[in-house]
Structure 1
């Protein structure tokens, strides 16, 4: 089947199981795997897609399915797995076992899994070539990528060990590439579990778990797009969630032929690239993480326009003061400005330089993502230089006593 056929199968399967797609939208093959396009103009506040809670892929549903596949002796070990391990292994088993009789009643998401983008379409840094990853050296994203690879590889080895104890042939097919692909699908498409709780909230107590909502995750991201995620309770009876679903509502009118977008929330390019595999040019939500050692040190996230820099200034100021708790002098402020400026300049000097068009061994879309990211990092650091200059030359550093 072609990619277009798989997308059509997803739509039919979702609707057959109580979900919904607006009759005037179409799913189209795209570099990201899928895009959703209006076949006719849509009025404001249109419901675009709904996913029943029964089709959501959650920690609980995947634990139940894997316990059946791997047998009750494995269940104790499965309960210690993270949400990512459970969901990624569950998705992987759709490819390992296939849509045959042996998977009936256990693996319930074949139309969804088949519609997901292939591994060669994924663009997170864990899918970069060595030459592409080398372009990130000198940036925070390079270290974050290596950390994520180590974490996910350790998870994979733990999962493979459990599978190998049950079926060696399954373990041979459960490769790192397969796990990485499934884990990337989760990182790039996950919703918070609070959306399908009885009390709909993005700020419920506790840590939300990642879940997958087939169909609702088909729309790509547009910053600040006005959307709503709305629960509907369609059923009645003794089970409170019977017939319940989550719907995506778009509040702007949509012209015929235009792509429809979801809003993943304000995210810096570092997060978009690492978790999703795309970037935004001149992203207003870009940030850089700065670390300062020592007893007064810490880690801070600073945004464009030096947003959030004041705690860093206070930390450096506390470090340069000769006497703890003393009132800072004019010279203390000057030393702080110099120290912060020097730190920022060192970070700027380390930032990679990326050219577009890219060299032959670098994919153009990857080079453009890295360029967007590095430009954002550089602009934030430049704003920090301006901040120190403002502190020093525009009256914010107290004048020396006469």
Structure 2
């Protein structure tokens, strides 16, 4: 079989052909293994080495990989063993493109026959120079110094990053973040290539026409998937302090190692060589892996073209925009004014920040982090808390060098934490729904690219499900009806999750995380959200029956009798969250405050504190002026309730609570006065309180939608927030 290079070089001479069309010389597994053995021999000839107890091997799952020899005398490769070493002269980087010779060092970085125009290097910078230099070395073929190395590299037909997805492959990226990342990278790389190629043409560079887009795409993919940071050259090049983040270094032989998450390795960067040592036992026959760092599956797909099922380093990036003038934008501006950050290249980034949702095994989360911060990055929760904050909570926002936050531990602010978590649940459920609906149209994967894309989709669904469960746990504990033993409640929730959603390992991970981590919602903040029918449990025993009897009758009559001018029932449609439900909450608030003002001993200390808090934050309405709500629709609804209460509500309905409110309720037809507990003014005051103190549109049952989907939409409910003392 002709060599990969000869096949490509021959077809490159046909100018009408593209590089992706000419790099189709298929290599068998044996060819690939042979190329790596040839690479090993080349490295050895130049003074490098592969340890005697390791070798290149091949199997269907791992492809070509480095392996501890099955026949190793000790039966393993011991910790501290340098498994491979290459001389500095074999590395390829920007320093080769400029023929760099460090002062006081025996090492040199030769361009080996590829001399790029200085004008090009100066204008495109180190990273792009490396890509064009690799293209030039590729075009030299057998004459090139790095020919054995380049022969071992995968061709375009072997690359599986999303940039090489086409036709049916692209459908597998729909609704995933990979689709956006792919388009973004293509735009950047295309612009970089066109700029560099234009400079080559202007410079009348020989054979500039061979530096095609397809060859650039291949070279840039090789660099992004195999290059190391310039820290490996730190012992040779002192100038790296200013160039480190802009210089990538290719390490022949060493870069043939596969990624093994969390594997323990150590770099040995000297003045004349670079080595890789294993820091844990590698038993005979096992793969000798490298550790690319805590890469999530999106990074692995975009840079390397593979995905890891159950990746312990998995996390998802969530973007939040802060529209100009919004509270989040204003608070971010204040923070950056006091604690300036480095300017961002993309102006869009000034309004869109990235936040994170982590998998449970993610290794870089400290064990002291609270439960919610072990899954959701603090910045994400704090940003959502500002988005979800009511007016009084925004007044409490603190800003320091660590960032900004609503202090949830402060009395009255735990509502905000639950509201922020509810926003996360909505986003995660919607994301799962998009992935599942689009996934049903895909069928089974037809090639390796689609296999990896399917694994990526499944990893994001799995991560989102565990995150939903954690968020729902905190939300559930915040509800007044969820009191009881924590472990018993947790087991009850977990028992609802089928095995195909949470396997036994995931179930144990979730349970351990919840029971061993302290929640941001402290124990004395649990049981603070209430449905209308649950609020009566907060009253003293003597008040519960009469109050429930009175208010349930008022609400029931309102549901039956109130008609707006065109004959439609007020609040028709959504009985849970419509105007009738809000009116019910408003009536309860009016009752509680009236008892607090006229007969406080009848209230529990919790309700007395809460009523004082409300009256301090939301001043009571005047008695001599009729209030109207600023929203015309709300005012129309309340006017209908005014009519019901004044003209159609029998005296005996309200008499049940007369002894508690401490004042005589006006008779039917004379109840438009402003000073009694269910007067028009007090109802409007309570309505305004509700706009601030409700947790609105909370997902009714997140676990149900997580298990069975939400094809018919997600039902929501409202909770009234009553903080603990």
TM-score range, shorter chain: 0.7 to 0.9
Once residues 391 and 82 of structure 1 are traced to their aligned partners in structure 2, the CA distance between those partners, rounded to angstroms, is 50
Correspondent of 2:295 among 259, 267, 285:
267
Contact kept, 8 Å, 2:97 with 2:115, in 1: the verdict is: no
Once residues 166 and 119 of structure 1 are traced to their aligned partners in structure 2, the CA distance between those partners, rounded to angstroms, is 28
> Which residue in the other structure is 1:15 paired with?
44
Cα distance, 1:177 vs. partner? 1.6
Cα distance, 1:144 vs. partner? 0.6
Once residues 311 and 413 of structure 2 are traced to their aligned partners in structure 1, the CA distance between those partners, rounded to angstroms, is 38
Q: Aligned in 2, Cα 1:70/1:56: closer, same or farther, shift over 3 Å?
A: closer
Once residues 337 and 35 of structure 1 are traced to their aligned partners in structure 2, the CA distance between those partners, rounded to angstroms, is 44
Task: After TM superposition, list the pairs within 5 Å mapping 1:286-365 onto structure 2.
Answer: 286-294=314-322, 295=326, 296=328, 298-305=353-360, 307-323=375-391, 324-326=394-396, 328-329=412-413, 332-351=416-435, 354=439, 359=444, 362-365=445-448
Once residues 118 and 63 of structure 1 are traced to their aligned partners in structure 2, the CA distance between those partners, rounded to angstroms, is 26
> Which residue in the other structure is 1:92 paired with?
135
Correspondent of 1:164 among 195, 201, 217:
201
Once residues 154 and 55 of structure 2 are traced to their aligned partners in structure 1, the CA distance between those partners, rounded to angstroms, is 17
Cα distance, 1:80 vs. partner? 2.9
Point out the more displaced range, 125-134 or 389-398. 389-398
Once residues 132 and 56 of structure 2 are traced to their aligned partners in structure 1, the CA distance between those partners, rounded to angstroms, is 27
> Which residue in the other structure is 1:34 paired with?
64
Contact kept, 8 Å, 1:59 with 1:83, in 2: the verdict is: yes
Q: Aligned in 2, Cα 1:174/1:5: closer, same or farther, shift over 3 Å?
A: same
Point out the more displaced range, 108-117 or 380-389. 380-389
Contact kept, 8 Å, 1:34 with 1:117, in 2: the verdict is: no
> Which residue in the other structure is 1:113 paired with?
150
The two structures, once aligned, show a CA RMSD in angstroms of 3.1
Q: Aligned in 2, Cα 1:256/1:312: closer, same or farther, shift over 3 Å?
A: closer
Cα distance, 1:289 vs. partner? 1.0
Task: After TM superposition, list the pairs within 5 Å mapping 1:358-377 onto structure 2.
Answer: 359=444, 362-377=445-460
Task: After TM superposition, list the pairs within 5 Å mapping 1:29-108 onto structure 2.
Answer: 34-39=64-69, 40-41=71-72, 42-44=76-78, 45-64=80-99, 69-70=114-115, 74-100=117-143, 107-108=144-145
Correspondent of 1:224 among 249, 262, 268:
262
Q: Aligned in 2, Cα 1:331/1:50: closer, same or farther, shift over 3 Å?
A: closer
> Which residue in the other structure is 1:3 paired with?
32
Contact kept, 8 Å, 1:282 with 1:372, in 2: the verdict is: no
**Secondary structure, in 3 states, of the residue corresponding to 1:302?**
strand
Once residues 52 and 4 of structure 1 are traced to their aligned partners in structure 2, the CA distance between those partners, rounded to angstroms, is 22
Contact kept, 8 Å, 2:261 with 2:312, in 1: the verdict is: no
Q: Aligned in 2, Cα 1:274/1:195: closer, same or farther, shift over 3 Å?
A: same
> Which blocks of at least 5 consecutive residues in structure 2 are unaligned?
4-30, 100-109, 330-352, 361-373, 397-409, 479-520, 529-721
> Which residue in the other structure is 2:10 paired with?
none
Q: Aligned in 2, Cα 1:152/1:29: closer, same or farther, shift over 3 Å?
A: farther
> Which blocks of at least 5 consecutive residues in structure 1 are unaligned?
101-106, 233-240
Once residues 117 and 66 of structure 1 are traced to their aligned partners in structure 2, the CA distance between those partners, rounded to angstroms, is 23
Contact kept, 8 Å, 2:264 with 2:278, in 1: the verdict is: yes
Q: Deviations over 1:335-368 (max 9, x none)?
A: 4343332222222222255489954xx5432232
Task: After TM superposition, list the pairs within 5 Å mapping 1:152-231 onto structure 2.
Answer: 152-167=189-204, 170-198=207-235, 207-208=244-245, 209-231=247-269
Contact kept, 8 Å, 1:225 with 1:261, in 2: the verdict is: yes
Q: Aligned in 2, Cα 1:162/1:333: closer, same or farther, shift over 3 Å?
A: closer
Cα distance, 1:374 vs. partner? 1.5
Q: Tell me the TM-score normalized by structure 2.
A: 0.48
Task: After TM superposition, list the pairs within 5 Å mapping 1:225-244 onto structure 2.
Answer: 225-232=263-270, 241=271, 244=272
Q: Aligned in 2, Cα 1:3/1:289: closer, same or farther, shift over 3 Å?
A: closer
Q: Deviations over 1:154-197 (max 9, x none)?
A: 11112222332345772332222211111111111111111220
Q: Deviations over 1:209-257 (max 9, x none)?
A: 321111111111111222211134xxxxxxxx3xx11111123444444
Q: Aligned in 2, Cα 1:37/1:356: closer, same or farther, shift over 3 Å?
A: farther
Q: Deviations over 1:354-392 (max 9, x none)?
A: 489954xx5432232122222221222223322332232
Q: Deviations over 1:80-132 (max 9, x none)?
A: 324432222222113323334xxxxxx53121111111211111111112321
**Secondary structure, in 3 states, of the residue corresponding to 1:288?**
strand
Once residues 417 and 83 of structure 2 are traced to their aligned partners in structure 1, the CA distance between those partners, rounded to angstroms, is 56
RCO higher in structure (CA 8 A, sep ≥6): 1
> Which residue in the other structure is 1:238 paired with?
none
Once residues 276 and 456 of structure 2 are traced to their aligned partners in structure 1, the CA distance between those partners, rounded to angstroms, is 29
Contact kept, 8 Å, 2:68 with 2:77, in 1: the verdict is: no
**Secondary structure, in 3 states, of the residue corresponding to 1:289?**
strand
**Secondary structure, in 3 states, of the residue corresponding to 1:98?**
helix
**Secondary structure, in 3 states, of the residue corresponding to 1:80?**
helix
Q: Aligned in 2, Cα 1:166/1:363: closer, same or farther, shift over 3 Å?
A: farther
Q: State which structure, 1 or 2, has the greater radius of gyration over its C-alpha atoms.
A: 2
1:386 matched to 2:469 = yes
Point out the more displaced range, 222-231 or 301-310. 301-310
Once residues 143 and 98 of structure 1 are traced to their aligned partners in structure 2, the CA distance between those partners, rounded to angstroms, is 36
Once residues 342 and 43 of structure 1 are traced to their aligned partners in structure 2, the CA distance between those partners, rounded to angstroms, is 49
Q: Tell me the TM-score normalized by structure 1.
A: 0.83
**Secondary structure, in 3 states, of the residue corresponding to 1:34?**
strand
> Which residue in the other structure is 1:282 paired with?
310
1:123 matched to 2:174 = no
Count of residue pairs the alignment pairs up: 381
Once residues 265 and 171 of structure 2 are traced to their aligned partners in structure 1, the CA distance between those partners, rounded to angstroms, is 37
Q: Aligned in 2, Cα 1:189/1:401: closer, same or farther, shift over 3 Å?
A: closer
